[in-house]
Structure 1
């Protein structure tokens, strides 16, 4: 397969570390056996959007490469390139798929936000207690449609992998601390000079204090100084409020990242 788009390429940092990425030519197989509920760890990436006759072929390939439930209960397809036609989308939507759209933002120079936070301490997590606090914070910030128990299991597996990546020198999980309390956190991981942010969250009680933008900036400074990172990538929900925060510290729109997801039970 030709090199994936920037959003897809940085998605692959994580399964390449502790999963499998198999090049089949016109598509990539992404598997994360240790976390089968992780959507973006178990899916197919094609080199072009689906065509009008691709639905049965793509479904057969997913079953062939990733198996049937209960191991992987969702179905997810990504691709590099443009937007599928309405006719190509129709058979997917009839079978419970949703078209998702995220914005891929990137920069070669992250700078301070207009009003940086000077109250908090910004640094990588260090102790077991801090990682446990990050888990609680990430679970608290989940989308309302995710039930707590399965989401906690998924997030615990995910953070355990992030910690192993940090221990291997591939990145870090950063927190903003007011006293001893974690009030915002994010991950930043890299392959060579390219880095990707993960799961940027600020506690609702501490928003509008410049914590998010300052944490993104401070993490980038750490990555530049310690890992030699020269380009930073962040993926944001297309209609989410965080995009303006990211652009305020230097990020610019690069591409849209489209995907088709059928979640469990759909």
Structure 2
């Protein structure tokens, strides 16, 4: 299974631990049975971009190999091809799909941000419920607009349970920035067992944004994980339209890929 994209290759770190990854003739099927409604845990990654006439066939493959309502209330298609020209998406867009665009950023190592926050303590979370509850609360508080709080909390609780298991298995760390003993920013960094490390779920309490916490924690976590695992490349994925990519660039990440996906949400 030789995916080209750093984004998709590092996505499989989590997919393999929490679910199953199946090589099909045309695509890679990613399934997370514990969280079938999680978009990026349940998708098809095709070996080529969409072409006219693909819609019905791709949807049938998704229903067969990933899931269908009510357990899986969405369809998500990616393609393992660097974005160099616009693919032919009209058929999907006319059927109600949304185009999701991300940027994949990478760095061999990081440098301190230009305006670090030296008031916080940065460290991996201990394997105690109290700290992971704080991480859950922070992830919910820092969610993007439009997410129902109750539903998002249920999703994040399941996701963090799996990520905590990965930490216990020695596959990564969950990090926090603490002010006066309270977690105000958090994220994870996980290893593919080789040269790659992938960031996950960066979140900062809205009341503590624009204070250098996110950049400082991103730098600390990357260097701690890189030295611990002996990895050669750090990878992070950001929404192409989000301001977070400027924070990541401030500590040394550079854009290496653009990633496109087609999402149909039927909730």
- TM-score interval, smaller chain: over 0.9
SS at match of 1:17: helix
Output the CA distance in 1 between the equivalents of 2:133 and 2:211: 24
1:231 partnered with 2:233: yes
Shift of 1:93: 1.4
**8 Å CA contact 2:103, 2:239 repeated in 1:** yes
1:107 partnered with 2:117: no
Where structure 1 has 5 or more consecutive residues not aligned to the other structure, the ranges are: none
1:95 partnered with 2:95: yes
SS at match of 2:92: helix
Note the alpha carbon deviations across 1:110-143, whole angstroms, 9 max, x for none: 1111111111000111121110011011111122
1:25 partnered with 2:22: no
What are the residue-to-residue correspondences of 1:47-86 with 2, within 5 Å? 47-81=47-81, 82=83, 85=86
Shift of 1:168: 0.3
Output the CA distance in 1 between the equivalents of 2:132 and 2:211: 23
**8 Å CA contact 1:4, 1:47 repeated in 2:** no
Shift of 1:67: 2.9
**Runs of 4+ with >6 A deviation:** none
**8 Å CA contact 2:68, 2:74 repeated in 1:** no
Where structure 2 has 5 or more consecutive residues not aligned to the other structure, the ranges are: none
SS at match of 2:227: helix
What are the residue-to-residue correspondences of 1:126-141 with 2, within 5 Å? 126=126, 127-141=128-142
Note the alpha carbon deviations across 1:146-189, whole angstroms, 9 max, x for none: 11122111110000000000000000110000011111111111
What are the residue-to-residue correspondences of 1:243-254 with 2, within 5 Å? 243-254=245-256
Output the CA distance in 2 between the equivalents of 1:22 and 1:90: 28
Shift of 1:193: 2.3
Output the CA distance in 2 between the equivalents of 1:239 and 1:155: 23
Give the match for residue 170 of structure 2: 169
Give the match for residue 262 of structure 2: 260
Q: What is the aligned residue count? A: 264
Output the CA distance in 2 between the equivalents of 1:210 and 1:60: 46
Note the alpha carbon deviations across 1:240-266, whole angstroms, 9 max, x for none: 11111111111111010100001133x
1:16 partnered with 2:10: no
Note the alpha carbon deviations across 1:214-246, whole angstroms, 9 max, x for none: 101100121122221221000011111111111
Shift of 1:204: 1.6
Q: TM-score, normalised by structure 2?
A: 0.95
Q: TM-score, normalised by structure 1?
A: 0.95
Deviating more after overlay: 122-131 vs 2-11: 2-11
Output the CA distance in 2 between the equivalents of 1:102 and 1:203: 23
Output the CA distance in 2 between the equivalents of 1:67 and 1:136: 30
Output the CA distance in 2 between the equivalents of 1:84 and 1:61: 25
Match of 2:217 among 209, 215, 228: 215
Give the match for residue 6 of structure 1: 6
**8 Å CA contact 2:141, 2:206 repeated in 1:** no
Give the match for residue 181 of structure 1: 182
Output the CA distance in 2 between the equivalents of 1:138 and 1:27: 32
Shift of 1:48: 1.0
